[in-house]
Amino acid sequence: ALTAGIVGLPNVGKSTLFNAITKAGAEMANYPFATIEPNVGMVEVPDARLMRIAEIVGTNKIIPTTFEFTDIAGIVKGASQGEGLGNKFLENIRQVNAIVHVVRAFDDDNIVHVNGTVDPIDDIETINTELVLADLEAVDKRYAKVSRAAKGGDKESKAEFDVLEKIKPLLDAGKPARLAEFTAEQEKIVHGLFLLTTKPILYVANVAEDDMANPQGSKYFAQIEAYAAAEGADVIGLSARAEEEIAEMDADDQAEFLEMAGVSEPGLNLLIRAAYHLLNLRTFFTAGVKETRAWTFKAGAKAPETAGVIHSDFERGFIRAETMSFEDLDQYGSEKAVKEAGRLRSEGKEYVVQDGDIMEFLFNV
């Protein structure tokens, strides 16, 4: 399964955020077959469409889809030199599919800052520098080898060389490799390099509890946002401490607390949705009287592959998928009305499934 790794300097609020994730997390009773490591937090993806579908088809059993956050342990500074647990830190990042970088954006004299003062950009660069240096070492090694073979006329080496030529100047300048643009062919080569700075990233500005209703208003938020924008990355503002408290409340208290704070939903929900998208994940639904359920697929997947998310038999014996969009069901108000409007589609093997599709698979057993 794809997972988003949570990284950050010590004392920025990572554990607090991870606690919030675990507490808000999926009730493991609902997922008896899931095996979960202690550093993994499984969350349900909040999706208002599920409620609406359930209301229309008349079921009260709703099953959201889930995905995982991984808490990345290890020492950051000097990691690329392999100091202390540094290598472990980089190895742990190598295992995840996207990076959620937590940055301290709150003042609190009681909480020691590892670099002495709260400076989000300095913090971000401390970590990103280690990632860049680790990648640079890997790229330099390949570069020496591949350039010789490329000059010798080897086609594959030439293709890799062209990729390295795009990446190396960025890393030399202290920038992440994800800023380079690659063709689809080159993407495959890039994938094989197992770099750290090509992984998609999003920043979390951990603001003071007083700023939870308007994280964008915190003085540090704009700094982080400007830095992220230059990388084409997003920033989610939240207060990890507030999120941890919210996650511990029952539904009624939670609603009351959020209303008093003047926010419509926990900041954690925004983070979950942003990380889900960062991983390039999308949702389709199955809808019935027995249950209404959300399922996760990779953006761009075709119908048989998404059928396989439910059961491998569905993929193997795939015939077609009766499909309607959530928007149509929402608008027409019933499955029957969608059908009568000619909006129910019969999709085949080549259909590229869209986020929000409601599907019924027909298959041979």
Q: How long, in residues, is the chain?
A: 365
Minimal CA–CA distance to 344: which of 327, 363, 330, 325?
325
- Dihedral of the alpha carbons of 78, 83, 86, 88, in degrees to the nearest 10: 160
Q: Which is nearer to ligand GDP, 239 or 292 (CB)?
A: 239
- Binding site annotation covers 15? yes
205 binds ligand GDP (CB under 6 A): no
In angstroms, what is the minimal distance from the CB of 242 to ligand GDP? 7
- Binding residues with ligand GDP: total (CB under 6 A): 17
Structure tokens at 129: 């520098």
In angstroms, what is the minimal distance from the CB of 255 to ligand GDP? 22
Strands 66-71 and 3-7: parallel
Strands 318-325 and 357-363: antiparallel
Q: Which is nearer to ligand GDP, 242 or 353 (CB)?
A: 242
241 binds ligand GDP (CB under 6 A): yes
111 binds ligand GDP (CB under 6 A): yes
108 binds ligand GDP (CB under 6 A): yes
Minimal CA–CA distance to 323: which of 347, 299, 339?
347
Find the helix or strand (DSSP H, E) in which 172 lies: helix 155-172
Among positions 240, 321, 329, 353, the unique one binding ligand GDP when judged by CB under 6 A? 240
The answer to whether the CB of 345 falls within 8 A of the CB of 323 is yes
Among positions 36, 75, 208, 309, the unique one binding ligand GDP when judged by CB under 6 A? 208
239 binds ligand GDP (CB under 6 A): yes
Among positions 89, 106, 295, 326, the unique one binding ligand GDP when judged by CB under 6 A? 106
Concatenating the DSSP letter of every residue in 30-70 gives G-TT----TTEEEEE---HHHHHHHHHHT---EE--EEEEE
Structure tokens at 185: 């062919």
Window 257 to 296, contacts with ligand GDP (CB under 6 A)? none
Binding piece for ligand GDP, criterion CB under 6 A, among 129-137, 235-243, 300-308, 329-337: 235-243
Among positions 140, 165, 209, 291, the unique one binding ligand GDP when judged by CB under 6 A? 209
Q: Which is nearer to ligand GDP, 189 or 208 (CB)?
A: 208
Q: Which is nearer to ligand GDP, 66 or 206 (CB)?
A: 206
Among positions 70, 92, 206, 283, the unique one binding ligand GDP when judged by CB under 6 A? 206
Window 6 to 65, contacts with ligand GDP (CB under 6 A)? 8, 10-16
d(CA 344, CA 190) in angstroms, rounded, equals: 40
d(CA 134, CA 127) in angstroms, rounded, equals: 11
Residue 364 CB coordination number (10 Å): 8
268 Cβ partners below 8 Å, 6+ apart?
20, 21, 24, 238, 243, 246, 247
Window 290 to 309, contacts with ligand GDP (CB under 6 A)? none
Q: Which is nearer to ligand GDP, 12 or 99 (CB)?
A: 12
Q: Which is nearer to ligand GDP, 114 or 352 (CB)?
A: 114
- Binding site annotation covers 13? yes
Q: Which residues bind to ligand GDP, rule: CB under 6 A?
A: 8, 10-16, 106, 108, 111, 206, 208-209, 239-241
* Binding-site annotation: residue ranges for ATP: 11-16
